[in-house]
Amino acid sequence: MTKTITIRDEVHKKLLAVKRDDESFNKLFERLLEGTNAVEILVTFRGCVEFRDKEKMFLEINALRAKHRL
């Protein structure tokens, strides 16, 4: 499954600066996230991401949580 995210132009430029030529953005995110704490990452990205439909996002998160609790 794929997801669309919105980032500011400045953030995109920063990501391009650290992305390798043979690397997709998905692989870049995986590389950046390896061995780090998810909460620390979210704090780092705070304010960089704009959510289009927060209510839908919360519903999806709650559905996934309920699914994993079974």
Q: What is the pLDDT of residues 18-53, one digit of tens each?
A: 899 999 999 998 888 887 777 777 777 777 767 778
Does 14 fall in a domain?
A: yes
DSSP 3: -
More confident residue, 64 or 23: 23
Q: Are 49 and 6 in contact (CB under 8 A)?
A: yes
Q: Which domain holds residue 50?
A: 6-69
Q: Which of 14, 5, 1 is nearest to 50 (CA)?
A: 5
d(CA 27, CA 18) in angstroms, rounded, equals 12
- Total domain count, the chain: 1
Residue 39: what pLDDT? 77
Residue 45: what pLDDT? 74
Does 42 fall in a domain?
A: yes
For 10-26, the pLDDT digits (tens) are: 999 999 998 999 999 99
Question: Can you point out the beta strands (E) in the chain?
Answer: 6-7, 49-50
Does 31 fall in a domain?
A: yes
